[in-house]
């Protein structure tokens, strides 16, 4: 999976990386479950590593956690990618910008631009998209500092 950076996310990248690393360090002793990003579902809470958030490695697998545990990410929407050809990076970015903003508003209850949360999409790579189950755009709310509740209908 590829992580796109939206402008607001890039402006806070230094803080984001430091807090992501801290949040992942606090997982010892917490119940977590490794899961492929293509298997995430709407409402799932998980922790995204610093390497994935900064684009240094693809988002192939994450640690899914109960939303009452410390987490930095939550799935707010999923869109299947139709068609037989792999979309260009620009097509994926444009779709993510439109689809994820709407999914965020529907899930959280407030516009992404009016919230205090960041938003990022996970999209398949050309290689992973050959697997039909991985041909989807996953819209994720980033909660830094880490959160211990679900963002569903949080309206913040």
The whole-number pLDDT of residue 2 equals: 54
In this structure, the number of other CB atoms found within 10 A of the CB of residue 58 comes to 17
Is residue 156 domain-resident?
no
Mean of pLDDT over the chain: 76
**What is the C-alpha to C-alpha distance for residues 74 and 46, in angstroms, rounded to an integer?**
6
**Three-state secondary-structure class, residue 151:** coil
pLDDT tens, position by position, 66-123: 999 999 999 999 988 877 677 777 888 888 888 999 999 999 999 989 998 888 888 7
| Domains held by the chain: number | 1
Domain region containing 41: 2-143
Is residue 151 domain-resident?
no
Is residue 154 domain-resident?
no
Is residue 152 domain-resident?
no
Is residue 148 domain-resident?
no
Q: How many CA atoms lie within 13 A of 155 on its CB side?
A: 1
Mean pLDDT computed over 27-46: 78
Is residue 41 domain-resident?
yes
Mean pLDDT computed over 22-31: 42
Strand order in the sheet with 45-47: 2-3, 118-123, 136-147, 71-80, 45-47, 61-65, 32-36
* Alpha carbon separation from 44 to 12, 13, 98, 104, 130 (Å, rounded): 24, 23, 21, 14, 24
The whole-number pLDDT of residue 23 equals: 40
Is residue 153 domain-resident?
no
Is residue 113 domain-resident?
yes
Q: Strands 45-47 and 61-65: what pairing?
A: antiparallel
């Amino acid at each position: 999976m590829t992580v796109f950076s939206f402008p607001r996310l890039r402006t806070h990248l230094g803080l984001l990386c430091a807090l992501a690393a801290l949040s992942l360090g606090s997982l010892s002793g917490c119940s977590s479950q490794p899961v492929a990003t293509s298997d995430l579902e709407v409402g799932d809470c998980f922790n995204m590593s610093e390497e994935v958030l900064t684009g240094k490695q693809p988002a192939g697998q994450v640690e899914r956690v109960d939303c009452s545990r410390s987490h930095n990410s939550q799935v707010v929407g999923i869109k299947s990618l139709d068609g037989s050809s792999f979309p260009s990076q620009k097509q994926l970015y444009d779709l993510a910008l439109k689809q994820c903003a709407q999914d965020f508003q529907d899930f959280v209850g407030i516009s992404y631009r009016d919230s205090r949360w960041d938003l990022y999409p996970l999209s398949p790579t050309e290689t992973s998209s050959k697997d039909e189950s991985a041909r989807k755009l996953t819209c994720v709310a980033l909660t830094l500092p880490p959160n211990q509740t679900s963002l569903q209908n949080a309206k913040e």
